[in-house]
């Protein structure tokens, strides 16, 4: 008992370091795997396409916020471990993929832009 009284500060420090290590290990284990991030990236492509369809062009920050709100609802556990800057990068990747898809796929262009606008762009490209 005398040992505990004499070394209480050291014991508390060891317990605190042990708790910090356990929390850090638990946080590392909860990090998303590459497969999970791939599924999220595919979902982001859909979310970005829907935001583009609903809101149109020229309001990127509003679309980003809309996609982020959907992300929080769909993946609340992941939103706690993925920083917003990384999420923003994932959205930019999904946007680039969506733009490539719209350039190559008429059906996708009709879904996002509407049939009339997609037809106008198709005619303008073929002239």
Q: What's the CA gap between 24 and 81, in Å, rounded?
A: 12
Q: What's the CA gap between 108 and 102, in Å, rounded?
A: 6
pLDDT in tens, the chain (127 residues): 788 888 888 889 989 989 888 887 777 666 667 777 788 888 999 999 898 888 877 777 888 888 999 999 988 888 888 888 989 999 999 989 998 988 888 888 888 887 766 566 555 555 5
Helix, strand, coil shares, percent, the chain, to 5: 85, 0, 15
Q: What's the CA gap between 50 and 57, in Å, rounded?
A: 12
What is the model's pTM? 0.62
Dihedrals φ, ψ of 115, to 5°? -60, -40
Q: What's the CA gap between 54 and 65, in Å, rounded?
A: 13
């Amino acid at each position: 008992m005398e040992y505990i009284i004499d070394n209480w500060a050291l014991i508390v420090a060891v317990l605190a370091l042990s708790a910090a290590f356990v929390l850090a290990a638990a946080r590392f284990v909860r990090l998303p795997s590459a497969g999970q991030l791939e599924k999220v990236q595919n979902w982001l492509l859909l979310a970005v396409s829907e935001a583009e369809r609903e809101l149109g062009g020229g309001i990127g920050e509003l679309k980003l916020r809309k996609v982020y709100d959907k992300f929080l609802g769909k993946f609340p556990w992941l939103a706690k471990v993925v920083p917003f800057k990384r999420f923003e990068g994932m959205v930019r990747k999904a946007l680039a993929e969506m733009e490539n898809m719209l350039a190559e796929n008429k059906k996708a262009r009709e879904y996002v832009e509407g049939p009339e606008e997609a037809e106008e762009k198709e005619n303008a490209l073929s002239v």
